[in-house]
């Protein structure tokens, strides 16, 4: 049996950055269920937020993050993230990421709900791809073990302590048990649980599901962010149209050509993502159109082409010249604010089981993530995770290292009977339709109850996982149920969670919902 000091599951920025930091602290194995480069990081167009500008500060960045988070942001976590962010950007530069510059200085852009320009980009809208390629190239030459097309099936725990991991090799069809001192979940979010998404195919909620089955706490699952602007064209896959396009001056127009965001928010196109997404849905409902339009025709063509080369080229490939024509856009599932509950050192309630990146929930995003904070949060808490482990920490210690002052309410998944109605189809495609229809941008008690009943019924009937597809479905069903159950419990609207039957926020719900297996 092979034994490692660190098994790191996932090959996005969270997994690769953690592995590169941990390589001098012991033996490292990276597991990734696709290729090393197949992850969400490469799709991150918006960049990375950090308070490095002359008119910026960590405190101002904190205030913007708290404002976007709709009352549920954990102040300790955000303070850590904003104060340590500049150093982590420095790490990326040392790792070879070439951020865009103007006259020799790093160029800073502004995005929705940021009060000042603080977003760093690399290659215009290709930031994630630049970071992913830089880190994956380093990883391939770093001397640690990498297993591609290998997925984490289960985590073994005894008396609250990590014992090992069961790994399935999807190419060979073999199962192997590995031992490790620390297992780091960095598997990304759960965007592929929804029919329309900006996420990579591998992102099916694996880390949350595996951790929950092992007994880890999971928090804030009802808060799932839908990006307001994804390309919506017949025959074209959903493709992210970066927040930075609106930051550069892009204007949202309805079917009649009218700029409508002033009707919904004083910040107009630069309002928080949840506000813009719901405004777009409202306009689509008024007109019966499947999309609205994003207009950049008034910007110089060279600005659009130079600032957003990926978006420009992708749209041209679909026969759309965005310098001359309106861009049809609509919301798409994008980012999971909730996840495996960790403290400020990446530790879960299971000794030796750690998490970072979108898989983890630090509380830093609250109910609605501020644009471009995700890459920053990933790096800050990955660094703290490795520092803590390097200094001998394995057992979770709360107190100073635990984000304080928040109210948490513990729940277990309720026992549910089979749904009264049957949902058409089976498998991942049916689950994606179910989640989009009933656990999407607008939610109701009736729809959430139907989704939770259906998912519970599917969960009981799932056969034993025997290949990648069945493992993906097993994890997606459980993660989807956690999202639906949390959304059903929270009888209010807050941030990315919107209930049409409870359209207002309530002070009684200034608390976090935590699920744990009995």
The pLDDT, as a whole number, for residue 518 is 86
Does 422 reside within a domain?
Answer: yes
At residue 25 the predicted structure's pLDDT band, cuts being 50, 70 and 90, is confident
Domain assignment present for residue 208? The answer is: no
Domain of residue 462, CATH code = 1.20.58.100
Mean pLDDT of 95-122: 87
Asked if residue 358 belongs to a domain, the reply is: no
For residues 396-425, average pLDDT: 70
* Phi and psi torsions of 183, nearest 5°: -120, 125
- Binning pLDDT at 50, 70 and 90, where does residue 104 land? confident
Q: Looking at the domain assignment, is residue 446 inside a domain?
A: yes
End-to-end CA distance of the chain: 31
**Domain tally, the chain:** 2
* Mean pLDDT within 43-49: 71
* Domain-located, residue 216: no
Q: Is residue 122 one of the residues assigned to a domain? A: no
Give the per-residue pLDDT at 402: 45
Dump pLDDT digits (tens) for 143-196: 889 999 999 999 999 999 999 999 999 999 999 999 999 999 999 999 999 999
pLDDT tens for each residue of 265-293: 999 998 888 899 999 999 999 999 999 99
User: What pLDDT does 364 receive?
Assistant: 96
| Domain range enclosing 481 | 408-515
What's residue 395's pLDDT? 54
The predicted pLDDT at position 200 comes to 87
Stretch 337-347: mean pLDDT, rounded? 96
Confidence at residue 403, expressed as pLDDT on a 0 to 100 scale? 45
CA 380/CA 164 separation, integer angstroms:
26
197-208 pLDDT per residue, tens? 999 889 999 999
User: Of 284, 315, 333, at which residue does a domain stop?
Assistant: 333
Q: Is residue 245 part of a domain?
A: yes
Written as six digits, the tokens of 185 are 């979940």
Has residue 427 been placed in a domain?
A: yes
Domain boundary among 333, 355, 389: 333
pLDDT of 448 > 70? The answer is yes
Q: What is the DSSP letter of 358?
A: G
At residue 440 the predicted structure's pLDDT band, cuts being 50, 70 and 90, is very high
Catalytic residues: 273
Mean pLDDT score of the chain: 91
DSSP tag of 371: T
* Report for 88-92, 336-340, 418-422: range of highest mean pLDDT: 336-340
Per-residue pLDDT band at 401 (split at 50, 70, 90): very low
What residues pair up with 336 in beta bridges, in sequence order?
224
Contacts for 166 with CB less than 8 Å, ≥ 6 apart: 152, 153, 154, 155, 156, 175, 176, 177
pLDDT one-digit tens code per residue, 452-471: 999 999 998 898 888 999 99
- How many other C-beta atoms can be found within 10 angstroms of the C-beta atom of residue 102? 8
Average pLDDT over residues 393-407: 54
More confident residue, 448 or 12: 448
What CATH number has the domain bearing residue 267?
A: 3.90.700.10
Using the 8-state DSSP alphabet, how is residue 430 labeled? H
Per the document, the length of the chain is 518
Last residue of a domain, one of 318, 333, 348: 333
């Amino acid at each position: 049996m092979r034994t490692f000091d660190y098994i790191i599951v996932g090959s996005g920025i969270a997994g690769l950055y953690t592995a590169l930091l941990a390589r001098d602290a012991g033996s490292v194995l990276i597991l990734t269920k696709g290729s090393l480069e197949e992850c969400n990081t490469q799709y991150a167009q918006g960049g990375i937020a950090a308070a490095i500008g002359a008119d910026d500060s960590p405190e101002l960045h904190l205030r913007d993050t708290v404002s976007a988070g709709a009352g549920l942001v954990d102040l300790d976590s955000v303070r850590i993230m904003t104060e340590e962010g500049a150093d982590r950007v420095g790490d990326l530069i040392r790792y070879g990421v070439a951020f865009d510059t103007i006259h020799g200085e790093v160029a800073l852009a502004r995005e929705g709900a940021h009060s000042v320009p603080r977003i760093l980009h690399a290659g215009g809208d290709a930031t994630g791809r630049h970071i992913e390629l830089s880190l994956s190239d380093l990883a391939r030459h770093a001397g640690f073990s990498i297993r591609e097309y290998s997925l984490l099936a289960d985590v073994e725990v005894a008396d609250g302590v990590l014992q090992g991991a069961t790994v399935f090799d999807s190419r060979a069809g073999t199962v192997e048990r590995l031992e490790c001192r620390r297992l780091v979940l960095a598997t990304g979010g759960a965007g592929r649980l929804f029919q329309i998404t900006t996420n990579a195919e591998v992102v099916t909620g694996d880390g949350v599901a595996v951790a929950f089955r092992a007994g880890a706490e999971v928090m804030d699952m009802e808060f799932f962010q839908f990006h307001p602007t994804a390309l919506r064209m017949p025959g074209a896959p959903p493709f992210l149209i970066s927040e930075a396009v609106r930051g550069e001056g892009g204007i949202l127009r309805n079917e009649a050509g009218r700029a409508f965001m002033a009707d919904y928010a004083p910040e107009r196109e630069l309002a928080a993502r949840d506000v813009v997404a719901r405004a777009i849905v409202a306009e689509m409902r008024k007109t019966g159109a499947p999309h609205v339009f994003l207009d950049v025709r008034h910007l110089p063509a060279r600005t659009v082409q130079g600032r957003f080369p990926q978006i420009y080229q992708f749209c041209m490939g679909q026969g759309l010249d965005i310098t001359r024509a309106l861009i049809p856009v609509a919301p798409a599932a994008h980012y999971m604010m909730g996840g495996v509950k960790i403290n400020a050192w990446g530790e879960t309630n299971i000794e030796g089981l750690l998490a970072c990146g979108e898989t983890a929930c630090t509380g830093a995003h609250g109910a609605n993530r501020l644009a471009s904070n995700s890459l920053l949060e990933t790096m800050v808490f990955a660094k703290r995770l490795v520092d803590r482990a390097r200094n001998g920490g394995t057992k979770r210690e709360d107190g100073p290292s635990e984000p304080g002052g928040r109210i948490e309410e513990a729940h277990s998944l309720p026992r549910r009977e089979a749904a009264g109605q049957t949902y058409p189809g089976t498998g991942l495609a049916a689950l994606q339709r179910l989640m989009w229809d009933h656990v999407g941008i607008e939610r109701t008690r009736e729809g959430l109850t139907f989704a939770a009943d259906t998912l519970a019924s599917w969960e009981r009937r799932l056969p034993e996982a025997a290949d990648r597809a069945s493992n993906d479905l097993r994890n997606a069903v459980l993660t989807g149920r956690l999202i639906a159950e949390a959304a059903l419990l929270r009888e209010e609207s807050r941030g990315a969670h919107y209930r049409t039957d409870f359209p207002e926020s309530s002070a009684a719900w200034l608390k976090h919902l935590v699920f744990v297996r009995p």
